[in-house]
Structure 1
Amino acid sequence: MLGAIGLDERQESTYRALVAVGASDVVDLAHRLALPEPDTEEALRRLERQGLAAQSSSGTGRWVAASPAVALGALLTQHRHELERAELTAVLLAEEYRAEATEPAVHDLVEVVTGASAVAHRFFQLQLSATEEVRALVTAKPTAVNWIDHEAEARAADRGVAYRVVIEREVLSLPAAMTELATVLGRHERVRTTERVPTKLVIADRSLAMVPLTCRGTEPTALVVHASGLLDSLTGLFEAVWREGLPLRLGTDGTVTEGELPGPDTTDLEILSLLLAGMTDASVAKQLDLGLRTVQRRVRGLMELGGVTTRLQLGWHAYEKGWVARERQT
């Protein structure tokens, strides 16, 4: 848990043990940690350099832990400042890059990535760079590169990044497909199936896309497309395929089924009524004793059910479908 501020596993366990006992010599602490005494002493020396431990002023060879509130707080502040400086540097570099490419040449709008590891790494980066939504088309054709990176997908989903994926129906028959689909549906990702997907495709937000360049007898190659008319066309392709797909749903028994989404339930209607009354997502979550992400997930589900892309459209659709009643004018 403390790796984010520079402590390795041994240092963290040593510090935790020292906090628990208050003070200890190397022999007792090594016995408690089941570590060799030299390793324990080395961990203590490193903690000392980071201000987390000190030798007792009594000169008895005992070590004491520094106050977590003070010592860890200082390290957290230091690392927070380092992250802020890194973020500032990233912003400055991005501005410098844009200044040098205010009118990018055609070759600057696309990148050609060659090699299985390079394509996989770029795909991993693309998903981690997303802040709002990742859209993907997945074919059943095997390739040398796995175009579904589950680690990156899980990490992005944990940050609140929405996923919309269309898969070829043949994918459902692949080994372990149902288990993997149950996992992604359990993370409230939206998945649809269709008979044929025209190409593998991944789009991060509205800024980047990846498509494979398949050539027989050559190593895996992919095209990375930056914001441009080409990216708009790829986005339009995805949306067209998405509209034709049938949604996959995760049943209460953990099975994956294909078919139209059910209508809104009571909780959905309560959320919708409160939103239309002008409450924020956070206020709705508090009012109904739900998690914020649960509210946002249900709103996305209502938008999908209504076939709309904005909350304003969802409001009109809700009135048209009778999900909520219009207030009478007095």
Structure 2
Amino acid sequence: MLKTVGVSAAEIDVYRALVATVTGSAVEIAAAMGTDGATVERRLAALQQKGLVRAVDGRPGRFAANPPDTALLPRLERRASDLERARIAVNELAETYRGNAWARGPVEVIEMITGAEALRQRLRQIQEGARRELLWFCKAKHVAMPSGTNQAEFEALARGVTYRVLYEQAFFEDVDAVDNVVRAVRVGEEARAVPALPLRMAIADRSVVICPLAPSGSAEDSDDVTAAVIRGSSLLEGLVALFERYWELGTPLRVTLEGRIGESEVAELQSATPVPEDQHLLSLMVAGLTDESIAGRLGVSKRTVQRRIQSLLHIAGVTTRIQLGWHAARRNWI
């Protein structure tokens, strides 16, 4: 616990024993600890040098512990100050690195890594280093990190990092996939589903993205899997915009009290189909007609049009008309 201030675990044990006995000799402390006197004597000397213990005046060979707040707090404050200066220095270096990205050339902007283990390690690193958010595209059939094994996500969520994750529908066909998503959502992950995703990727703090380049059907956990690590560039900005566009169209996944994905469960999204009259209404809505114009075309009231659109939103499991139009097109409703 006190290693961060330069005190070893063995020295801490001796210091604790001395705090408990008020004063003591090396022999007495060794007897209380069940160790030899010579070892305790060496550790007392080290503690005295570090200012944690002092020799008792007029009583040779006896020592007393200095107050912990006097002996240790200044060390902690100096350590905290050193860490803060190091953090500032790292941030300055990172800003310089990003600012000079193009001066370094494309090799530094796009880094290639090979192998499933190297990819897992890099994914862990960007999550451990994230300070604000992680954005994920999760396709079916993993190439390096099986569903439910990303412990770094739970650690990041615990320290306040936001996770927004988009799953394609086929992802939920994997064994235990639904249970793993439920577990993540319960501790703070924001999850949505779309019919299909164009690629796999993870974006940390909008400053670095990892894109596995394995095509569909590639072997899982292959040593041949290759991924691109992309830093500050217009390509990264484009991938962030791609995520946001798919996120806007995704169906929110909510977890019920029973531990299931609720009304918007992916399996249910494909089963519901609107009646032909509503398909006609959808085609008019997607064409850009106002509710009033749609009502005139269908010979119904504007209120009826709005009620039927609300019903279609429920059937599709979405919340906006933009999402509804996108899902209607993808599911051949129009």
What interval of TM-score do these two structures reach, taking the shorter chain for normalisation?
0.5 to 0.7
The amino acid across from 1:109 in the alignment is V
Q: How far did 1:128 drift? A: 2.5
Structure 1 residue aligned with 2:235: 230
Higher relative contact order by CA 8 Å / sep ≥ 6: 1 or 2?
2
Residue 247 of structure 1 contacts residue 258 of structure 1 at CA under 8 Å; is this kept in 2?
no
Question: Secondary structure at 1:249's aligned position in 2?
Answer: coil
Question: Secondary structure at 1:198's aligned position in 2?
Answer: coil
Structure 1 residue aligned with 2:77: 77
Taking a change above 3 Å as real, the CA distance of residues 226 and 6 of structure 1, as seen in their structure-2 partners, is same
Structure 2 residue aligned with 1:120: 120
TM-score under structure 1 normalisation?
Answer: 0.64
Structure 1 segment 187-198 matched on structure 2, within 5 A: 187-198=187-198
Question: Secondary structure at 1:164's aligned position in 2?
Answer: strand
The amino acid across from 1:221 in the alignment is T
Distance 1:31 1:179 in 2: 54
Structure 1 segment 233-312 matched on structure 2, within 5 A: 233-253=238-258, 255-260=259-264
Q: How far did 1:164 drift? A: 0.7
Question: Which string of whole-angstrom CA distances, capped at 9 and with x for unpartnered residues, describes residues 70-125 of structure 1?
Answer: 11112112212321332343244345535654655333321112233432232222
Q: How far did 1:134 drift? A: 0.7
Q: What is the aligned length?
A: 263
Q: How far did 1:8 drift? A: 4.5
Residue 246 of structure 1 contacts residue 259 of structure 1 at CA under 8 Å; is this kept in 2?
no
Distance 1:257 1:103 in 2: 48
TM-score under structure 2 normalisation?
Answer: 0.64
1:141 aligns with 2:141: yes
- After the TM superposition, which of the residue ranges 167-176 and 224-233 deviates more from structure 2? 167-176
The amino acid across from 1:256 in the alignment is R
Residue 119 of structure 2 contacts residue 144 of structure 2 at CA under 8 Å; is this kept in 1?
no
Q: How far did 1:139 drift? A: 2.4
The amino acid across from 1:223 in the alignment is A
Taking a change above 3 Å as real, the CA distance of residues 73 and 171 of structure 1, as seen in their structure-2 partners, is same
Question: Secondary structure at 2:76's aligned position in 1?
Answer: helix
The amino acid across from 2:4 in the alignment is A
Structure 2 residue aligned with 1:90: 90
Structure 1 residue aligned with 2:162: 162
Q: How far did 1:210 drift? A: 0.6
1:105 aligns with 2:105: yes
Taking a change above 3 Å as real, the CA distance of residues 55 and 218 of structure 1, as seen in their structure-2 partners, is same
Question: Which string of whole-angstrom CA distances, capped at 9 and with x for unpartnered residues, describes residues 16-60 of structure 1?
Answer: 443344334445545655666666555544433432233444545
The amino acid across from 1:259 in the alignment is E
User: Which runs of 5 or more residues in structure 1 are unaligned?
Assistant: 262-304, 308-330
Distance 2:181 2:40 in 1: 45
Structure 1 residue aligned with 2:22: 22
- After the TM superposition, which of the residue ranges 140-149 and 150-159 deviates more from structure 2? 140-149
Distance 1:176 1:26 in 2: 58
Taking a change above 3 Å as real, the CA distance of residues 62 and 125 of structure 1, as seen in their structure-2 partners, is same
The amino acid across from 1:135 in the alignment is L
RMSD (Å), alpha carbons = 3.6
Sequence identity, in percent? 31
Taking a change above 3 Å as real, the CA distance of residues 33 and 182 of structure 1, as seen in their structure-2 partners, is farther
Distance 2:261 2:38 in 1: 58
Q: How far did 1:196 drift? A: 3.3
